[in-house]
Structure 1
Amino acid sequence: MRGEAPSGPKMGNVTANNASQNCTIDHTIHQTLAPVVYVTVLVVGFPANCLSLYFGYLQVKARNELGVYLCNLTVADLFYICSLPFWLQYVLQHDNWSYSDLSCQVCGILLYENIYISVGFLCCISIDRYLAVAHPFRFHQFRTLKAAVGVSVAIWVKELLASIYFLLQKEVVEDANQHRVCFEHYPLAPWQRGINYYRFLVGFLFPLCLLLASYRGILRAVHRSHGTQKSRKDQIQRLVLSTVVIFLACFLPYHALLLVRSLWESNCDFAKGVFNAYHFSLLLTSFNCVADPVLYCFVSETTHRDLARLRGACLAFLTCSRTGAPREAYPLGVPEASVGKSEEPELLTKLHSTFQTTNSPAGEGSPTVRLA
């Protein structure tokens, strides 16, 4: 769970806001739902992001700047995934943090920062794609490895500086059952409201506006391309819109309820009323770690080819293990040169220019399909 750590699954849990105010809330929703979500993200997200990190590394070696953003996005997701065992143990122990206070703060920061680091790199990817599609011959200075590394460092530094604010707060408190709860404040503590407004406006709303503007520009460029078939235009639009839909599905409910709580949560009754919806929205943010590799790694032409080769090698290995006879690396009679060969149009290839173009002005792109 992010932003505020997962709440454990005990009936009548008392979460301390301060010494004078306790709020008794039923945490039953997490007894079944949270562990299922965390285990699913661990089992699916960890190998998917490891594979995504490998392909991102290959793109960086090929001097494709979007590989830098992809690697950073994947590293942020892996940090979050690696913190899940701690939160899983926390909810299974009925909201009892069995580690040190500092470890609670660090794990909470890892959870919280993943949202905004992910949002930042998704925004960078969308802007880079817009420049590649709508302005393929301009702004080449912003589409280099050096520029991508500089932007990535700025995003990490910004979020790490913001996380210092949480290190200054006391996040581990004891409830009425002598359980040490971590990142639990119901109703919201006064200091949380200001940081929540910052998270909503700067961390979510502003990047969302940039992302939507970038993808609107991509769609306009696609519509103005007369040399691309309608079916292929539809393919590009589905890719673009699926990115926006996943972004909104993972992050919008959480930030909407975060804003609602910050504006109107002043008593325990209100906290009880929004508790289940708020924590369900926190669980939705976890699925971003599964969606990111699908959107930004597994849809590229180059990765299609690499995956086809990897699949062929695995099939050959398994076949050899069963039969004891040597088999070709591409068992279905498909020559290596043709494995994963793309049927995408030049425009779609340019849309994934991180995997297809170089970063020099001369190599910025000479697309077959010109976008007026």
Structure 2
Amino acid sequence: MVTPNVTNNNICTINHSIHQTVSPPIYIFVFIIGLPANCLSLYYGYLQIKAKNELGIYLCNLTIADLFYLFSLPLWLQYFFQHDDWTYNEQLCKICGILLYENIYISVGFLCCISMDRYLAVVHPFRFYQFRTIKAAVMVSVVIWIKEILMGWLIFQNIDISKDSESHTICFEHYPIKDWEHRFNYYRFFAGFLFPFSLLLFSYCGILRVVRKSHGTQKKTKVQIKCLVSNTVIIFLVCFGPYHILLVIRSLFETTCMFAAKIFNVYHFSLLLTSFNCVADPILYCFSSESTYQNLVKMRDSCLTCLRCFRTKKKECNQLKTPETLTKSSSVPVDEATRLNKLQSANEMKDSSTISIDKL
């Protein structure tokens, strides 16, 4: 039962039990799955950059933003396990809070860049080529980071910590919200969510129109592209939609502790939904690619080959090396190389579709 009251400093004290029951398992899941997934995503982005693909710039920046957020999760977990009592200094609280909130808008910014890059690649492959270069992607990325750093600095200057009725140090939360937060929340909704979502919807609708009219694209590839596009839009809405809608509701109606208490659990659950974006990004933008799957298969085969070679060498050390065994052992790499060459030749002979899932 949520029981709000007002302290002597006119700060609401609300039951934060959701932070001890729901938040820890979700944050632990996101951290365990998101950290290795984003590390692989960063490697995939590096391969894209190495191949002179501007999409790799956006993927690397998106992944870096997610990793910054993931690294702050252990501190938030300790905060929740201590019943919302921040034991570190105030500056670290502000930094962790900025990483938590600004990761949303850095991610949204680069998701828009990826969607627009895909739109231009599929719908206008030659007309706007100057916007699809490594140099252009770097410039856009710098603008996004500067913008969000400035917004983070604004929050850093205005936010502070407070005490509840049990003398716990509350980090990065105020109930009811302050006057400057009302205006800032409107900006976050329109510029940080609604406008990017409109761009996302516009770009993917354009892609679907081209894919539907393409006669050279295989039916299976069309289905894959449609699933990728629809899943991207759905995940964007699920991860960011509820949080931003509740931001507007809080800005419109949160003037008392009573309303803050009523909306507290729903609002913080919507905030938890945004963390799933760190898991969804690598799956949607990296591991859904056919080339990524092939790279992972090659990585797995290389590991298995190394393991077999290690076992073979260990076994040979315990045996007498006769001329016959030496001949057999020397023939293994030749057979393996022959098999790999045949597979590579077969892959090169495969026909490519007009619109490939890797282009998306």
Normalised TM-score (structure 2): 0.87
* C-alpha distance in structure 2 between counterparts of 1:121 and 1:51, whole Å: 18
Task: Tell me how far 1:346 sits from its aligned partner.
Answer: 2.3
Task: Tell me how far 1:227 sits from its aligned partner.
Answer: 2.7
Distance 1:13 1:260, change over 3 A: closer
Question: Out of 290, 294, 313, which is 1:305 matched to?
Answer: 294
Give the conservation status (yes or no) of the 8 Å contact 2:4–2:258: no
* C-alpha distance in structure 2 between counterparts of 1:176 and 1:313, whole Å: 59
- The number of residues matched between the two structures is 341
State the secondary structure of the residue aligned to 1:21. coil
Counterpart residue identity of residue 294, structure 2: R
Question: Out of 150, 163, 177, which is 1:161 matched to?
Answer: 150
Task: Tell me how far 1:246 sits from its aligned partner.
Answer: 1.1
Distance 1:259 1:321, change over 3 A: farther
Q: Write out aligned runs for 1:233-244 (5 A).
A: 233-244=222-233
Question: Out of 344, 353, 356, which is 1:346 matched to?
Answer: 353
* C-alpha distance in structure 2 between counterparts of 1:286 and 1:274, whole Å: 19
* Consecutive unaligned residues in structure 1, runs of 5 or more: 1-9, 355-372
| Structure 2 match to 1:188 | 177
Counterpart residue identity of residue 162, structure 2: V
Question: Out of 113, 136, 142, which is 2:131 matched to?
Answer: 142
Counterpart residue identity of residue 74, structure 2: P
Distance 1:336 1:242, change over 3 A: farther
| Structure 1 match to 2:89 | 100
State the secondary structure of the residue aligned to 1:168. helix
Comparing both structures, which one devotes a greater share of its residues to helix?
Answer: 2
| Structure 2 match to 1:27 | 16
* C-alpha distance in structure 2 between counterparts of 1:173 and 1:221, whole Å: 54
* C-alpha distance in structure 1 between counterparts of 2:92 and 2:173, whole Å: 15
The structure with more radius of gyration? 2
Distance 1:233 1:165, change over 3 A: same
Question: Out of 31, 47, 54, which is 1:58 matched to?
Answer: 47
Question: Out of 319, 331, 340, which is 1:335 matched to?
Answer: 340
* C-alpha distance in structure 2 between counterparts of 1:52 and 1:336, whole Å: 28
Question: Out of 263, 266, 269, which is 1:280 matched to?
Answer: 269
Give the conservation status (yes or no) of the 8 Å contact 1:249–1:284: yes
| Structure 1 match to 2:75 | 86
Question: Out of 214, 218, 222, which is 1:229 matched to?
Answer: 218
Give the conservation status (yes or no) of the 8 Å contact 1:15–1:186: no
> 1:128-156: CA deviations, max 9, x gaps?
00011111121000000000000000000
Give the conservation status (yes or no) of the 8 Å contact 1:14–1:175: no
* C-alpha distance in structure 1 between counterparts of 2:25 and 2:284, whole Å: 23
Give the conservation status (yes or no) of the 8 Å contact 1:13–1:27: no
Task: Tell me how far 1:229 sits from its aligned partner.
Answer: 3.4
Q: Write out aligned runs for 1:34-73 (5 A).
A: 34-73=23-62
Counterpart residue identity of residue 220, structure 2: S
Q: Which moved more, 1:223-232 or 1:41-50?
A: 223-232
RMSD, matched Cα: 2.7
* Consecutive unaligned residues in structure 2, runs of 5 or more: 316-328
Give the conservation status (yes or no) of the 8 Å contact 2:6–2:12: yes
Question: Out of 233, 257, 281, which is 2:246 matched to?
Answer: 257
Distance 1:48 1:337, change over 3 A: farther
Task: Tell me how far 1:345 sits from its aligned partner.
Answer: 5.0
State the secondary structure of the residue aligned to 2:288. coil
* C-alpha distance in structure 2 between counterparts of 1:22 and 1:98, whole Å: 20
